[in-house]
A and B are shown apart, each in its own frame.
Chain A
Amino acid sequence: MAEDKKYTTVSIPTPLFEKIQQKIKDTGFTSVSDYVTFVLREILAHSNDNEAFSEEDEKKVKERLKSLGYLD
């Protein structure tokens, strides 16, 4: 199936694999792969891939830097 090609393999240490296997026992996760994918997606969702500062944040930081004397 074409969809199968959307997956690839990454290596993780066997002890870690086993630890995860234990952890997901009796949970909604059916496989280590499902769990690992979920955790990685969660972490990536929190990372900021665009500009470092939003417009509002930049304004906030600029004001702070001004009050600290760095921007005169």
Chain B
Amino acid sequence: MKVMVVGLDCAAPALMFDKLKDHLPNITKMTENGIYGKLRSTDPPITIPAWMVMATGRSPGEIGLYGFRSRVGNSYTQIKIPSSKDIKFDTVWDILGKRNNRSIVVAVPPTYPPKPLPGLMISDFMTPDKDKEFTYPPGLKNEILRDFPDYQFDVKFRKPEKEKIINEIYQMSDTRFKLVEKLLKEKPWDFFFMVEIGIDRLHHAFWRYIDEDHHLYEKNDMMRNKFISYFEMVDHHIGKMIEMMDDDTVMMIVSDHGAKGMKGAFAINQWLIKEGYLKLKNEKVSPGSSLDEIDVDWANTKAWAWGGYYARIFLNIKGRESQGLIDPSKVKEEISVLKEKLKNIKGPNGEEWKTIVFEPEEKYDVVNGDRSDLFVYLDDLNWRAAGTLGYETDYLLENDTGPDDAVHDYDGIYIIYRKNKRIGKKIDSSIYRVAPTILELYNVRKRYGIKGEPMEGIEYVK
């Protein structure tokens, strides 16, 4: 048995299984004959840590990564970007490698710098640039750049030249799929795992053209058609990969989280100032400034926040932070008061929000690495958090760092498909079941003792 995992970052159930169905003949064939459903993402539902949760079966708490940055020590402003070196647990390709299975791993975040494995690895979109060693073995890089000189790790989508961006995303993904198809044909492999980031970029930059309910909805047939033709291209490549499969190969399509329309960005640090938690030495702040660019009165600050698709709030605790203010004996009380205040934040027109606030210990059995004191999903993730400040209002209808249409949703997708098997079941599942499912298909799950159960219905595939 061989398994191919095709990761489509941000692929959303409503689009893949319903709205775009008629444009996706291969994916639809897979759902009709395989097992498919929603795939509940991690908390937080973000690319990092979600893909590594999928690859290791471990929680974000165990892995110790909660997003695209970690705090260095207990510093106020120093941050660190996650890399492959932060992943201390075996991934499925590590486990299979120890059993002499060769893997091809392409663009799974974070896999830069690439670690040795029996097989091939190309690192992800957090690779600094093409000058770096982004492959294992190192020689593979020259082969890629010879055959695919336009190979791209990522695109920048938050700029106004919309037509140019959508063409760039299309080119990037199309090239990556062509490269992958070449590797699958020419290199020996027993396991394959790729992630295509293009769908996420497409959703963020172009959601307004396909979601009639979006507050920025724009009727534009050309952009809508380009959006759809991107998905047709993805489906075409999946069809090509299916052609390469024999009866003993299983293909899994998975996404790390879903997407929904972004309602706006909430300037969380401005709110913390108004509530008396955050103090600045100089009240005059130019719009869009971040905390590390302005003079914060740390000694009189109780809490500050990081923005992104969710907000992370840190308390300034005596003995932990260098200018800590809150006495450790008062932390519990402060947290419960702040939680209530956050949950009571209302929308720009006084409407009720369904804000979710939790401490990491409430979600994870183990909490490693740098953890913020609170995790905040503003209005159930419909509003993103802007960490920057200096705005006239706390409610920014556009994002603070350039145009963006979409936020993340809790449910991604999965499909398991084996050629010549007629299953046709819809069963919703969880991201924690992906790694156990892969190992179960290789019959090594129990021997390795990985946590978690394989997906329901896997017996129909085996």
Contacts and interface: CB of A to CB of B under 8 A. Distances in A.
A23 interface: no
B401 A69 contact: yes
Given A47-B113, A61-B128, A67-B156, A72 B137 contact: no
Contact of A53 (B83, B204, B399): B83
A7 interface: no
A54 B457 CA distance: 46
A2 interface: no
B204 A52 contact: no
Contacts of A48: 113, 133
B81 A72 contact: no
B385 A53 contact: no
A66 B386 CA distance: 11
Interface of B is mostly: loop
A72 B388 contact: yes
A5 to B, nearest CB: 27
B102 to A, nearest CB: 15
Nearest to B269: A72
A58 to B, nearest CB: 6
A25 interface: no
A66 B116 CA distance: 29
Contacts of A64: 126, 154, 156
A71 B68 contact: yes
A64 B154 CA distance: 9
Interface string B145-170: 00000000010111000000000000
Most B C-beta atoms less than 10 A away, residue of A58, A62, A67, A69? A69
Contact of A65 (B81, B84, B307, B387): B81
Given A52-B83, A58-B81, A69 B404 contact: yes
A57 B41 CA distance: 30
A41 interface: no
Interface string B294-309: 0000000000001111
A53 B138 contact: no
Contacts of A43: 137-138
Contacts of B113: 47-48, 52
Contacts of B80: 58
A56 to B, nearest CB: 8
B68 A65 contact: yes
A71 B157 CA distance: 15
A69 to B, nearest CB: 5
Contacts of B307: 71-72
Given A43-B137, A53-B83, A64-B156, A72 B308 contact: yes
B245 to A, nearest CB: 29
Nearest to A66: B401
Contact of B69 (A52, A53, A71): A71
B402 interface: yes
Interface string B127-140: 01100110001100
Interface in B313-359: none
B190 interface: no
A71 B113 CA distance: 21
B192 to A, nearest CB: 22
A13 to B, nearest CB: 12
A13 B84 CA distance: 31
B305 to A, nearest CB: 10
A46 B133 CA distance: 7
Interface of B: 46-47, 67-69, 79-81, 83-86, 112-113, 116, 126, 128-129, 132-133, 137-138, 154, 156-158, 201, 204, 265, 290, 306-309, 384-388, 399-402, 404
9 contacts: A52-B85, A57-B132, A58-B80, A62-B81, A65-B68, A65-B81, A67-B401, A67-B402, A69-B309
Given A52-B83, A69-B204, 14 more contacts: A43-B138, A47-B116, A47-B133, A52-B112, A61-B81, A61-B128, A64-B154, A66-B401, A67-B156, A68-B204, A69-B399, A71-B69, A71-B79, A72-B399
